A and B are shown apart, each in its own frame.
Chain A
Amino acid sequence: MAISVAARLAARRALEPLPLLEGDQDDGTLNKTLLGYVWRRPGKGWLLLVGLGLTGTALLTVAVVITVAKGIGMWGNNIPVAWAFGIINFVWWIGIGHAGTLISAILLLFQQKWRTSINRFAEAMTLFAVLQAALFPVLHTGRPWFAIYWLFPYPSTNRIWPQFKSPLMWDVFAVSTYFITSLLFWYLGLIPDLAALRDSSSKRWMRRVYGIMSFGWRGSARHWHHYKIAYLLLAGLATPLVLSVHTIVSYDFAVSIVPGWHETIFPPYFVAGAVFSGFAMVMTLMVPARRFLRLKHVVTPRHLEAMCKIMLTTSLIVGYGYLMEHFISWYSGNAADFYQYANRRGILHGPFKSAAQDPYIPIFWLMVFCNVVVPSIFWTKWGRTNVYVMWFASILINVGMWCERFVIVVISLHRDYLPSSWTIYKPTWVDLSLLFGTICFFSTLFLLFLKFLPAVAVQEVKELRHELDTEHERHELPEFSQEAIHPMELEVGEEDEQEEKLR
């Protein structure tokens, strides 16, 4: 029997990917929409948010000063829980900082076209996240004024060197390398757009500023010639780097002998968790940003959906990690290990009654809920296309990933080998303001970035549009360019609501 045209169209519609760019764009419109807002006067909402951000940053400063002036005693840390918020926040931020490089590097290598509209954005987020993370390793030491330079191998008058068997030394190299590389990668991509800003600005002094920032870039073919390769190589470099960084962070735990830390599964599961939280953070920031910067035509539902899929995948990996830890702890028959995980889950504690009374059990289950249950909503097309859903989900995932680090760091330590030293950890106000403060500092930097730099890699989008033109991709599915607008119309309500939130 014959299949109706409508049905065939519907079927194709379901299979065809959503468009990467919406509306009929050319370089001119792209310049207007992607660079234009830099010249617009800052809105009230923006000012308000920056204000809040700065207040939080002030709080952060206070917390840091107090910590350095009085000592780590201002935190809740104790023996055996000698690491707590400091390290949790460090790992959390570093993890978040993984999405940027991943998107821009790995997706570039895989030639995923959809990366172009979000990579700049994600890279900036990476930088600012790593900046937060970088605060903690030094701050959490007892004597930061020494840590700041004793951790580097320089010839000192006492002839003593750092100890390279320590994962902390690996951390020092990994984090600093990661930060520097991401910064350079980001800036290299930014240069042509800075030139574009220089040339599109009306004020001469502004043109001067951007002129200097762009090092006098003039888009010469001889430059593009090297530029393409250099950019590609940096991407190729950043890919193993991004994997190495969280692997090394996971060594901080995996290399130790603490039950709950000494896990061979850590490196992959940490990297997956990092990507997971990173994408969640990109999502959290992107959903409102694309609305207020009017970027919907370049950051389309297709991008959002792709991110949802990645989050779903990584959440599955993470979930598998959780499962394995608990399984192995039982399978290995190691009492300390078994107790460790029984004490986390609070159920199936075998002979250890006391394991069921741990005050931290809810945090473990919150983690499971946020990182395993919540993301499974992305199995549905609805979940992947409804911005409300993905936005709230992404926020919950950020919470969940923080909990994961709490579970690993604090819960493992407070129930280690000798029960005689077991104790409970309670954070102090300094701990909390450090967490809150870094979040504010992060958002402040991000808002400034959104205001003064192009949030989308303009030159790459132009290039993409050009490619699409030449490939006549758009001509293949004229009717879908209409259909594809659909999900955006659904959002109208949400936009107003979000605008409300900011006013």
Chain B
Amino acid sequence: MPSLKLPIVQAHGDERAQWRSLEERRRGIAAEGEFPPGAAEVGTTSRREFVQLLGATVAFAGTAGCFKIPGEQILPYTRQPEEIVPGRPLHYATSMTLGGRATGLLVTAHEGRPTKVEGNPEHPSSLGATGLFEQASILQLYDPNRAAVLQQNGRPRSWREFLAVQHDRALALRRKDGGAGLRFLLEPGTSPLVADLRARIRTLFPNARFRSYSAVSNDGVARGAQLAFGTVLDTQFDLSKARVIACLEADPLHPWPGSIPAMRAWADKREPGPEMNRLYAVECALSVTGMNSDHRLRIRPSQLAPIALALAAKVGSGQGLLAPLTPVAAKVRLDEKQQRFVDVLAADLRAAGRAGVVIAGPRTSPLVQALAHAINTALASEAARHRKSALHDPDDGAAGLRELATEIRSGTVDTLVVTAVNPVHTAPYDLNLATAFDAVPNSIYRGLYEDETSKRCAWFVPATHPLEEWGDARAHDGTVTFVQPLLQPLLNGITEAQILSAFLGEGDKSPYAMLREYWRSARNDADAAWEKWISDGFIAGTATAPESPQVRMEAVAAAALAARFEVPAGALELNVVPDYRLYDGRFANDVWLQETPDPVTKLTWGNAALMSPATARQLGVDTRDVIDIGLHGPPVHAPVLVIPGHADGAVTVSLGYGRGGAEQNAGGIGFDVAPLRRVDAPWGGSGLTVTKLGRRQPLAITQEHWSMEARDPALDMDLHDFEGRGRERIEDARAPVATMHTPWDYSKVQYKWGMAIDLSRCTGCSACMVACQSENNIPVVGKGNVEKSREMHWLRLDRYFSGSEDDPRAIAQPMLCVHCETAPCEYVCPVNATVHSDEGLNEMVYNRCIGTRYCSNNCPYKVRRFNYFNYTYDVTDLEKLRMNPDVTVRSRGVMEKCTYCVQRIERARIDSRVQERPIAEKEVQTACQQACPSRAIVFGNLHDKQHEVTKKHADERHYYVLNDLGTRPRTAYLARVRNPNPKLT
């Protein structure tokens, strides 16, 4: 019997106290009142869960027929925690930090087992939504590859041993020279608790040094602010105030840490009409933002600065703040197309005035940043918000690493504490960090996995997962946010705070105690407000106040003058970007993210050298050809992926692959780009060498075909077109189709479920895909099966290109079961395994399915997925805990597809009927809807005239995909309307 210890059951000592306090303070939807005891079964595995997994592992899983149901056992609690009602999920507020920016979360737990991550509606950086990373973190929590053993040079050690050793050594260092040999390399953080610990360590070890490092650094921001304002400021953009948005290599429409509010604000202003915003993108590789832009200029990275300068000069046009730039800009040479773009954009920005904003990407050069700041200040843009950065250390990319490396080589470093994620793998190759780390006598690495870095460190300390730890952090706007555990560390993880406290000689202090004490000391209202803070997940009103700094124009102009723009003609340029799915590689072992297609390239399980069709022709290569690419360093083997819309003469590669750690899933996937990065040029440069190896390599791409081939599933039109001919296209696409059958009468039933997807809002970020996977226990099929196009995603994002291959118009379309009222899949099923419910859902009954796959053939949307193998047979006990107990784990040989999250509907239905009331409007949300940062998906009862979904179904933009087949879908799509500048079209 697979059985794992339930933290609540084995809780003891002051841990128990925490759990109690925490549970009293849980926020959530669990029914009120006194709860008499109930039972949980088999450790954390709930009854449903357990039987499912048993079913899934037993051959012939899902048999209703020939086999008796095997014996089961029930393990009730000995003492029942009050609020736990077996079979009823609880919801806890916590948060997850990435790049030092916390996103507030609401996590669902079944019998103490977190199973699903949602956004915290009140939290400023979540607004109820989540990105891919947050959604996928639940899988990481139960990752069987996670490190579990604290070790010294490979020998297991206990935490207390570690404390003892380090304490003595630290004391020695301190006596010697005030800890001059003590170095900390931390993950960029904003935690007030950690800040406090650091301060106290400094007082003990005056000569110790702290640095932070993350491969995905925002170094441009810091340096740019330094240049423009003379001080380090962090800039956020409130796009609700913006009508004209210019993105210079910026990607605000993908849920990077802290960009969810931007996505929401942008989407809110995409309703066709005068208030509609307009998005310009200037970038090298086609980005999510680029796909959603109204105008896009593709440029080689080296061309960004000149264009920014030209733009600034043009916006200023000789007067006001930007005047000094006009003479400098004279040296800029733009081709006719770029010139035109810049002119029009500048004019548009000037016209927009306060409603205009220029966003420079976080990794662009300081000059570009400064110019953007200058323009925004000149426009008095209301969208740009400057705040003091909440980060502990300046975000200077790999610069800190370089200093550290030199210090180590000079032999001054005795003890090195690393909590930064896997620097040895992500650091630019010219630092040769691996050998440097070897030279440190007492190096300590805290990580989730035994990765490349742990191999180089004397001590390895397993890290806690965010869902296992007590802590705090600051949101993108500085709001103090709390991290609250949903269970005790499954694998003896240690928090960053614990590691730091080890050097304070405070002994083994629980993270909870530390946090509690710190806040008690930090705020005098802590005792009174503590419960509210924890249950809210953050302290309202703690956002950092915006500042309005002066731009040091002369400095900017000087920098612009000094800048050298010309690049050797014909030189190939490299563009390194963080990966849309793996970030910097820290999520490389998260198979959900590995199998989520890249929003733009639709590539899964690996990275590739992206280039434009023209460049590919010029280099004589094609998709899947393996090439050697090198930039002043050892070359790396990379498969080519030709992608329309990429800038010519440049190659884009992404971070995070080619991992060599102990993570089984990440190993051997993709190629490592570190050899292409140097400390002074971490994001690429010119002079890239490419040699064709004459070898080909399979790529797991989920969508090979780019064109819509005249079927127009995704309607995409310009504003003026929408007021004219386009409207007819939409009306055709929703015109009723003649039928022989009298439509089924749904007026009698209380609920008529339907969905609406607004293509104007959808950016294609793919957060919904991961949310769906998490909610519905969707299996991962692996690279080989994706190559055979057997991916199982119930919800996929189709990406189409139209127009020219070089400058295509791209659109993303979420495609999931549209629940046709006259579903073609149903009448071909010989065994009634897919039929209609009384409320009009297209039901898929796994246990009746015999897998003829006829339904899939007859589904014009191809949203049905087939279990070609038993994808769950090797799920470990640990992973079983992750499964959603409300959804059947499908066995081999059965069809599956989107159910409109029927398990949520049924739960709500039963609750509402037990409480003798109708289901409330927001009570049933599908997983995809809940996750969507831009609120593109709406779901609900079409009988409810007030419901948003009903309104969307009446919207003038609504239509049905493949309407002329007469399938009468329940999911309506809202045509995408773009707002191009007439002067550019």
Indicate if A touches B (C-beta under 8 A).
Answer: yes
Question: Among A71, A151, A163, which residue has its beta carbon within 8 angstroms of that of B893?
Answer: A71
B353 at the interface (CB under 8 A from A): no
Q: Mark out the residues of chain B between 858 and 888 whose CB falls within 8 Å of any chain A CB in the assembled complex.
A: 858, 860-862, 864-870
A interface SS class: loop
Q: A83 — which chain B residues lie within 8 A by C-beta? A: 853-854, 857
Within 8 A of B (CB), among A1-60: none
Tell whether A418 pairs with B866 under 8 Å between CB atoms, given A141-B852, A256-B858.
no
B868/A335 in contact, CB under 8 A: no
* Given A140-B852, A168-B854, A420:B815 Cβ within 8 A: yes
| Contact of A160 with B853 at beta-carbon distance under 8 Å, contacts A256-B858, A258-B858, A418-B798 already known | no
Residue of A nearest to B60 (CB): A145
Q: Contact: A142 with B830, CB < 8 Å? A: no
| Distance of B353 from chain A, by nearest CB (Å) | 41
Instruction: Check A77 against B830 for contact (C-beta < 8 Å).
Output: no
Pairwise interchain contact B830-A163, C-beta atoms closer than 8 A: yes
The answer, among A78, A252, A351, A418, for a CB contact under 8 Å with B789, is A78
Q: Is the interface of B mostly helix, strand, loop or mixed?
A: loop
CB pair B708–A419 under 8 Å, yes or no, is yes
| A82 touching B866, Cβ below 8 Å | yes
CA distance A145 to B850 in the complex (A): 9
What residue of chain A has the Cβ atom nearest to residue B61's Cβ? A143
Known: A80-B856, A142-B850. A166 touches B829 (CB 8 A): yes
Residue among B64, B703, B785, B861 making CB contact with A417, cutoff 8 Å = B861
B703: chain A residues at CB < 8 Å are 420-421
Q: Is B790 an interface residue (CB 8 A)?
A: yes
Closest to B893 in A: A142
How far apart are the CA atoms of A258 and B965 in the complex, in Å? Answer: 11
- Residue-wise, chain A 70-89 has the 8 Å CB interface mask toward B (1 for contact) of 11110011111011000000
Residue from B63, B704, B788, B962 having most chain A Cβ neighbours under 10 A: B788
Taking CB atoms and an 8 Å cut-off, the chain B residues in 787-825 that contact chain A are: 788-790, 796, 798-800, 813, 815, 824
Q: How far is the CA of A25 from the CA of B870 in the complex (A)?
A: 65
Report the stretch among B106-114, B161-169, B709-717 that lies at the interface. B709-717
Q: Looking at the complex, which one of A143, A147, A416 makes contact with B860 (CB distance below 8 Å)?
A: A416
Whether A141 contacts B869 by the Cβ 8 Å rule is no
B571 at the interface (CB under 8 A from A): no
User: Is B894 on the interface with A (CB-CB < 8 A)?
Assistant: yes
User: Which of B709, B850, B861 interacts with A146 by CB under 8 Å?
Assistant: B850
Note all chain A residues with C-beta closer than 8 A to B828.
165-168, 255-256
Is there a chain B Cβ closer than 8 Å to A352's Cβ? yes
Known contacts A82-B856, A146-B65, A163-B831; A418/B713 CB under 8 A? yes
B858 touches A418 (CB 8 A): no
User: Given A141-B851, A166-B829, A168-B828 in contact, is the A257-B893 Cβ separation under 8 Å?
Assistant: no
A327 contacts partner chain B, Cβ-Cβ < 8 Å: no
Do A142 and B829 touch across chains, with their CB atoms under 8 A apart?
Answer: no
Query: Is there a chain B Cβ closer than 8 Å to A215's Cβ?
Result: no
- Asked if B848 lies at the interface with its beta carbon under 8 angstroms from chain A, I say yes
**A80 partner residues in chain B, CB cutoff 8 A:** 856-857, 862
In this complex, the member of A147, A158, A257 whose beta carbon has the largest number of chain B beta carbons within 10 angstroms is A257
Please name all residues of chain A whose beta carbon is closer than 8 Å to the beta carbon of B865 when the two chains form the complex.
79
Q: A419 to B705, Cβ gap below 8 A?
A: yes
B-chain residues with CB within 8 Å of residue A146 when the two chains form the complex: 63, 65, 850
B845 to chain A minimum Cβ distance, whole angstroms, is 9
Contact residues of A between 54 and 112, Cβ < 8 Å to B: 70-73, 76-80, 82-83
- Is B892 engaged at the interface, CB distance under 8 Å to the other chain? yes
Within 8 A of A (CB), among B687-716: 703-711, 713
Most chain B CB within 10 A, of A73, A163, A167, is at A73
Q: Are B711 and A419 in contact (CB-based, < 8 A)?
A: yes
Within the complex, what minimum Cβ distance (angstroms) separates A264 from chain B?
16
Interface members, chain A 411-439 (any B CB < 8 Å): 413, 416-424
Question: What count of chain B residues pass the 8 Å CB interface test?
Answer: 61
Question: How far in angstroms is the closest Cβ of chain B from A298?
Answer: 45
- Asked whether B35 is an interface residue with its Cβ less than 8 Å from the other chain, the reply is no
Check B832 for interface membership: any CB of A closer than 8 A. yes
CB closest chain-A residue, reference B895: A142
- How far does the Cβ of A50 sit from chain B's closest Cβ, in whole Å? 35
Interface check A162, CB cutoff 8 A: yes
Give the Cβ gap from B846 to chain A, nearest Cβ, in Å.
10
| In the complex, B372 has a CB within 8 A of chain A | no
Known A-B contacts A142-B894, A166-B829; A336 and B849 likewise in contact (beta carbons under 8 Å): no
Which A residues are in CB contact (< 8 Å) with B962?
Answer: 417-418
Given the known interface contacts A163-B830, A423-B704, the answer about A418 and B860 at a Cβ–Cβ threshold of 8 Å is: yes
Q: Is B565 engaged at the interface, CB distance under 8 Å to the other chain? A: no
A224: interface (CB < 8 Å): no
Chain A residues, CB < 8 A from B849: 142-143
* A366 interfacial by beta-carbon distance below 8 Å: no
B827: interface (CB < 8 Å): yes
B177-200 to A contact mask, C-beta < 8 Å, 1/0? 000000000000000000000000
Convert A135-169 into 0s and 1s, putting 1 for each residue whose CB lies closer than 8 angstroms to a CB of B.
00000111111110111000000101111011111
A162-B831, A172-B830 known; A416 vs B850 contact (CB < 8 Å):
no
Q: Which of B65, B788, B830 contacts A78 (CB 8 A)?
A: B788
Contact A71 B854 (CB under 8 A): no
Residue A178 interfacial (CB < 8 Å): no
Docked-complex contact A421 and B830, CB < 8 angstroms? no
In whole angstroms, what is the CA distance A343 to B799 when docked? 22
Residues of chain A lying within 8 A (CB to CB) of residue B799? 420
A150 to B832, CA, bound (A): 10
State in angstroms the CA–CA spacing of A151 and B961 once bound together.
33
Q: How far is the CA of A168 from the CA of B852 in the complex (A)?
A: 9
Cβ–Cβ contact A143 & B851, under 8 A: yes
Report yes or no: B893 in contact with A420, Cβ–Cβ below 8 A: no
Expressed in whole angstroms, the minimum distance between the Cβ of A157 and any Cβ of chain B is 8
Which residues of chain B are near A402, meaning CB under 8 Å? none
Q: How far is the CB of B791 from chain A (nearest CB, A)?
A: 8
Q: How far is the CB of A219 from chain B (nearest CB, A)?
A: 46
Q: What residues of chain A lie closer than 8 Å to B705, measured between beta carbons?
A: 354, 419-420, 422
Q: Which residue of B lies closest to A261 (CB)?
A: B857
Find the B residue at minimum CB distance from A172: B830
> For residue B706, which residues in chain A have a CB less than 8 angstroms away from its CB?
419
Verify B965–A257 contact, CB threshold 8 A.
Answer: yes
Q: How far is the CA of A258 from the CA of B895 in the complex (A)?
A: 19
Q: List 26 A-B contacts (CB under 8 A).
A: A73-B790, A79-B789, A142-B852, A142-B893, A142-B895, A143-B891, A144-B850, A145-B65, A146-B65, A147-B850, A150-B831, A150-B848, A160-B832, A161-B832, A162-B830, A165-B827, A168-B830, A169-B830, A255-B828, A256-B824, A416-B860, A417-B711, A417-B962, A418-B711, A418-B860, A420-B703
| Supplied contacts A72-B853, A144-B850, A418-B711, 8 more A-B pairs, CB within 8 Å | A71-B893, A73-B790, A73-B869, A142-B895, A163-B829, A256-B858, A257-B965, A258-B858
List residues of chain B with CB under 8 Å of any chain A CB: 60, 62-66, 703-711, 713, 785, 788-790, 796, 798-800, 813, 815, 824, 827-832, 848-854, 856-858, 860-862, 864-870, 891-895, 961-962, 965
Which 3 pairs from chain A and chain B are nearest by CB?
Answer: A142-B851, A142-B893, A73-B868
List residues of chain A with CB under 8 Å of any chain B CB.
70-73, 76-80, 82-83, 140-147, 149-151, 158, 160-163, 165-169, 172, 252, 255-258, 335-336, 339, 351-352, 354, 413, 416-424
